[in-house]
Structure 1
């Protein structure tokens, strides 16, 4: 059975490879804004789960012929901070504004997960859930924020920070699952795989 990762995230790929899985990467191409627009006043948990489901569904359909026996995993992460749910900053200006607000504060990193099982090219089972991890941010100086923005890293990651990269210098600690903050929760993914009758150990590289 193949493990198909419905994500372009190098961080998610690295987490899975370090944990013994060599996934097939197939990017969904889902328009996240369009998916979000179909939801009416979603909670943060509902939003990330809906986006993860849209990605997993799109990729499951796309790979049904090329990978007929597979599990497809879709994820989406966002940061909930001060009553606002935010994704990737996209620009230095947005990232700077967020870091000035987050400095010394606490947020929740939410990652939605959906797994879809394919047997003989047919979709047979699926499961989904959201993992929430509390993130305690340090108080970087403006010079440190400028230097971090100059690396380009925070522009393209949920919440404008990483735990496993340069941003790790500016995270005082977390309460919860570190792999979920990086992009995919290993414990939750194992549970969801169990729900669709797949043992994670059967997916490990041999």
Structure 2
């Protein structure tokens, strides 16, 4: 059976996996700030963005397997992933608030940035991963449309404060790379990794 665990609550990743014909059971990680979070997403001092996104994806996969075992769930491959925006070498994760979202969008306006998505798959014995790199150029944005976009609520919870598959797609002048990778789960890399664990897409 083409079924895996997904250590993410992202509806976009779930939809993309379902698009591939993969059945998913979600293994939620603790994200409540009032309790100990399963994954501390704070970058280390001077951490390279590629090292950071790989570390996050692998950590989510490792902890996802641990949580699945603690809940006595049947053994299946588990997928963890992480997506970041990188602008001039600086990591843009999810905005902390509206002001942070506005700061990011103003910096991205009229410039090019990279979107890195690392996918990690493990069966509890071996861990395989791959990172997809896409380059995105934004058109020039005016402050009023940045404010309107933030008011829509879409930027919150999104790396770099935008969603290419949503209203934020109107800001994208050019994309070099993987559209699904910018969404949060590159289909090519994901299918290649899953095939190594006997999960067939076609």
| TM-score of the pair, normalised by structure 1 | 0.87
Runs of 5+ consecutive residues of structure 1 not aligned to the other structure = 118-122
Moved over 4 A (4+): none
Q: CA deviation at 1:140?
A: 2.2
- Match in the other structure for 1:198: 198
1:57 lines up with 2:62 in the alignment? yes
Runs of 5+ consecutive residues of structure 2 not aligned to the other structure = 31-37
The 5 Å alignment of 1:53-92 reads: 53-64=58-69, 66-92=72-98
Deviations 1:66-96 (A, max 9, x none): 4333110000111100221110012111111
Q: In the aligned structure 2, how far is the partner of 1:61 from the partner of 1:181?
A: 28
1:109 lines up with 2:115 in the alignment? yes
1:6 lines up with 2:7 in the alignment? yes
Kindly tell me: are residues 21 and 193 of structure 1, through their superposed partners in 2, closer, same or farther at Cα, counting changes over 3 Å?
A: closer
Q: In the aligned structure 2, how far is the partner of 1:137 from the partner of 1:8?
A: 27
* Matched position secondary structure for 1:32: coil
Q: CA deviation at 1:98?
A: 1.2
Q: In the aligned structure 1, how far is the partner of 2:166 from the partner of 2:23?
A: 21
Q: In the aligned structure 1, how far is the partner of 2:128 from the partner of 2:90?
A: 27
* Matched position secondary structure for 1:23: strand
The 5 Å alignment of 1:42-53 reads: 42-53=47-58
Q: In the aligned structure 2, how far is the partner of 1:201 from the partner of 1:96?
A: 39
Question: Is contact 1:28–1:56 with CA below 8 Å preserved after alignment?
Answer: no
Q: In the aligned structure 2, how far is the partner of 1:142 from the partner of 1:99?
A: 9
Q: CA deviation at 1:28?
A: 2.1
Higher helix share: 1
* Matched position secondary structure for 2:82: strand
C-alpha RMSD of matched pairs (Å): 1.7
Q: CA deviation at 1:19?
A: 2.5
Q: CA deviation at 1:129?
A: 1.7
Q: In the aligned structure 1, how far is the partner of 2:91 from the partner of 2:127?
A: 26
Deviations 1:17-38 (A, max 9, x none): 222223111122223236x44x
Q: Which moved more, 1:125-134 or 1:17-26?
A: 17-26
